[in-house]
Every structure is written in C-alpha cells, then in structure tokens.
Amino acid sequence: MTLSIFVDNEDPLVDEEIRIIVKGLQKKQLVTVRAEVNEKGQVFAGSGCFVADDNGLVDVSRQPSTNGTYKGISPMGLFWSMQSTPNMPPGLRLIKNNAATPLLTELTVFLGHLTFKQTYGDNIMPVLQKTIKRWYMGKDVQKITVQTGRLRGTLFLPPGKGPFPGVIDMFGVVGTCVEFRAALLASRGFAAYALPYFLYDDLPKDLSEIEFEYFMEAVDWLSAHPHVDGDNIGIIGVSKGGELALHMGYYSDKVKSVVSINGAPFLSIMPMKYKGNYIGHSRFDADDYTVTDEGISALNTMDCEIENYLPIWEKDVHVLLIGGQDDLALKTKFLPNTYDCYPADRKHLCELRMYPGAGHLIEPPYAPLSRTTMKHSRGVGGDYGKHILLWGGETVAHAHAQEDSWKRILNFFSTTLSKKDHGTANSKL
C-alpha cells in the first residue's frame, strides 16, 4: 500500500474534530506526526509519536501518542498542544488576523520516534506531507467592514435571510480588531460584531482615551441592523473585553445575555466616564507587577472590594462567567464572589464555570495555550517597551477548558437569545 495521509474533513471549522490516519506503513512501524501552522511568519506546531497497528495504520484519533507535545489518546492533540517552533521568539500567540482566509495546517510524517525539537533538525527528512485548511469563517458567511460614525470593526453575518440574534465580541489589551471568534460565532448562526476599541484604525491609541458611550453606540447600532434581531443581543468578551461586556449588560436594557471570560466585575486599569460621571471603583497599581522567570504577572496590580463590584445581579440579564483557576493576570476570587452576590431568587440568571488548570486567555477549541505573550506596554498608561506578560494555564487542563467552555457558550447564547428561522454555516467550504 502506498504511503498516504487520510483526513476525513479537509475543510473543517476550527471547532470541529477531525480524524487523521496515516496509511501504508509497516506493521508496528514507529512514526512521528507533526501539525504546523505558519501565520504571518509566526510558526506553531504540535507533534505525536505513534506505533502503526497490525494493518500498517496510525489513527491519530484512536491511538496514543507516546511522546511529543502531548501524550495519550486525543483526536485533536496535535492542535491543542501546539507551541511555537524552536526558531521562534518567546511570547507568541496564535491569532488569525483575517478570518476570511483559512488557517493552513501542514501535516508531516517522519519515520521513527522523534522529539518535537528533533522534527526541526537539519538532517531529518519527512516521508509524507499534506496541507489542510481549517476555517473560522464558514461557507457563505458575509464579512462586512464597519465604519459608521465613530464605530469600527467587522460584522459577520450567517448565511440566510435572518434576522439573526446579535453578539458583540471584544478582546482585551491586545487592542486592534480581533476577528476570529466573531467569525466562528457567525459560522454557528449568530450575527457577530468584532468590536475593537483602541489601537485600530482611527480609534484611540491608549485606554485612557476610551469613552463608554462608544460601547453603548455599538449596542444601539447592532440592535438596529436590518439583519439582526434587535430583541436578542448578547455580548462576549475576554479579559478587559469581559469586564466591558458586563458593564454593557448593566447599562443597556437592549442586552439580554453576557459571557465574561476572566473579566473583572469592575472597571480595571483605567477609569472611564459615562454620561459625564466616572463608573466603577477599583485599585490599580502598576508598581505591584510581579516579575518571574517566565514573565510579568499583573495578578496583584488590581483589586476591588465586593461593595464596589458592578451590581450586575440587579439587572434581568443572563450572565455566564468563565474563569481559569490558574489565571495569573486576574484574581480568581472575583468571579465566584460575583456569583455569590446573586440573591437566591436571581441565581438562575448567572452561571459560573471555573476551570482548574486553565489560564487567562481561554480561546475557542483546539487553539494552542498562550501561557505568555509578548506585549508592548502602550495602552496601559505608559510606554515601557516590550515585556513577556504571564497569563497562566497548564496545557492539558487549558485545552479541556477551551473545548468545554465553547460548547457552553454556544448553548448559552442559543438558549438566552431566542433564535428565529435562520441558517447555520456549512463547515464544508
């Protein structure tokens, strides 16, 4: 039998599990399989070591990896265990900048059992290679650039006539317009608006220049969009985006549900005004950064007394709080404290999911762990050069959190935002 790589779906969405099989090997032959992504010159890869069965097959989804970037049986282990390759600098984060293009993954097979580093040795030659495409943006999803008034960003609309439930999607102090999660939400049936708020286009260059009215305008705009069901608006955010999501849910009666991923229940880092008044009370002290061998942790830089938490429990908005117990950027007490503030007769409005071993940057499924990232410190009140920021997370536990939380996010929005008759993107592109 000729050596070949079989993939049951060569055009999946990134949140879909795929099956990879190497065929044509000798009985009990040792091989190493590597999956590699090169996104704008930043290279990430995962590898596993396998033993062919009696039929000369290696089925990655059903056979254990004995070495590499992960061990054991995991259908998507080659993906969630990815790390930056040996020649890359530290502190990289895999971000798909243009969600309309595929995430190209090169599958490579080597003879013998090799360590991850050895797969990049000068004298190591592959015996098989195959490139597959994985997508955040499904077939027939529309991508629309938003430039209306001072609002900026990207709107993704599912196929079909709609109107669709709408979701505003925000990230943290990375700034720019981060599209990939919004594109994936649209691929699952939601009109998703990737909303940048600084370091993008003509938006502010620093968090101190942001006005809360901007976010309220985004809610108003999306709810009035002709392809959006204005009675069913949700917000999702991670980190700074998560705390902003909670505040949008509190201050706008148009928001029905909020997902906050490791977002503080108060406004952190920078004070912010709304209608001329400062909103939120918390402590932020840049001198309390903790320097470790891995990088800089912001865990002790901010705090807030419970009496100054945003009283989101007073509002009739559904809230899903997602947190990592190995978060090294935000105190893990904040989300449980928020849940505990809900009176018994309002507990049904809030769901809390804390994941052991998960870090701060909880992404959609099968994304590599970003335990640290390189960050230029503009946007947090100064210009301090480049630093490695520490977010936390243990690879296996973090991967579980990403897979489980994504299912819960989709179910949460599906149940709290009443869907009308609309289409869902086909993952076959």
Distance CA 344, CA 340 (A): 9
Q: What is the pLDDT of residue 425?
A: 41
Q: What is the pLDDT of residue 383?
A: 41
Phi/psi at 276 (5° precision): 85, -5
Distance CA 168, CA 191 (A): 8
Q: What is the pLDDT of residue 270?
A: 82
Strand partners, 281: none
- pTM score of the predicted model: 0.94
Q: What is the pLDDT of residue 387?
A: 84
Residues designated as active site? 239, 327, 360
Render pLDDT for 62-105 as a digit per residue (tens, 0 to 9): 999 999 999 999 999 999 999 999 999 989 999 999 999 999 99
The conformational region for residue 324 under phi > 0 = left, psi -120 to 50 = alpha, else beta, is beta
Q: What is the pLDDT of residue 419?
A: 56
3-state secondary structure of 290: strand
Distance CA 164, CA 227 (A): 6
Radius of gyration of the chain (CA): 22
Q: Where are the domains of the chain?
A: 4-134, 142-416
- The Cβ of residue 262 has, within 10 Å, a number of other Cβ atoms equal to 29
Pairing of the two strands 20-23 and 58-59:
antiparallel
Give the sheet arrangement for strand 142-148, strand by strand. Answer: 142-148, 151-157, 191-194, 164-170, 228-238, 255-261, 318-324, 350-355
**Low-confidence residues in the chain, pLDDT < 50:** 377-385, 421-429
Q: Which CATH class is domain 142-416?
A: alpha beta
Contact 370, 389 (CB under 8 A): no
CATH 3.40.50.20, applies to 4-134: no
Structure tokens at 168: 């505003």
Degrees, nearest 5: CA angle 294-291-303 = 115
